[in-house]
Amino acid sequence: MSDDVSQLKGPLFCPVARALDLLGERWTLVLVRHLLGGPRGFQDLRVRTGIAPRVLSTRLRQLTDRGFVRSVPVGNRSLYALTPRGESLEPIVRSIARWWVLNEMEQTGPFSDTTPASVVEGLPFMLHEGHARDAKCTYELRLTGEGGGVWTISIQDGACRVREGFADHADVRYTADAMDWCRLVFGRMNDREAFQSGRLKKDGEGRSLAWFFHQPPPPKQDSKQGDTV
């Protein structure tokens, strides 16, 4: 390297370091992950992430100043939404999530503190690509009670898409209490027993939704899971 170059002043040329200057603060990519699902309000983001209000306000302001987030009017209120620059971060968020699912999830569980929405919207990151490679199916998930809602989960040729709302056509429809469904996902309730007792209802024909996703580790004291539904 010439002496002229060695005397240059300014930040070190390191793509990783420069990217982390913009994205490295805690919660930044978590907020991007939730906004990839569509515009969200401040309280919605706070509930989904658990971020303290002051920190959330600071991170949203930073993301807005850096051109990743913008305010959009929806009805009589303003929501936060990703700009095209913010949407360009999706491959980064997806790669980080996939790395954790494939390499660290088994070491981190069992899990307990969550919301039904965070579990459902995390499914695309947990897709078992080998099982889903040639699949073409649509599931409708109806969760009742606190934290409930309706989601459409489409698995097409090795990809998973989740959106809020009823399916135009569902191959399989599940109905359950929202927290019961979380217990099933995290192995705290046996799916065979839930199906037989009526706590989990299934309409339609098709593989179990669980077949298509990597499963979080169940509690050690109750590691057996059925494959009925």
If 0-12 CB within 10 Å is exposed, 13-18 middle and 19+ buried, where does residue 207 land? middle
Question: What parts of the chain have a pLDDT lower than 50?
Answer: 222-229
Q: Write down the pTM of the prediction.
A: 0.80
Confidence (pLDDT) at 110: 64
The tokens describing 113, both together, are 């503190």
DSSP structural state of residue 125: G
Q: Other CB atoms closer than 10 Å to residue 19's CB: what's the count?
A: 12
| Nearest Cα to Cα of residue 140 among 179, 182, 169, 117 | 169
The tokens describing 83, both together, are 């700009």
116-222 matches 14-87 in CATH topology: no
The CATH superfamily assigned to 116-222 is SCP2 sterol-binding domain (3.30.1050.10)
Fold of 14-87: Arc Repressor Mutant, subunit A (1.10.10)
SS3 98: helix
Could you tell me the residue ranges of all domains in the chain? 14-87, 116-222
Residues 6+ apart with CB under 8 A from 173: 139, 140, 141, 142, 167, 202, 203, 204
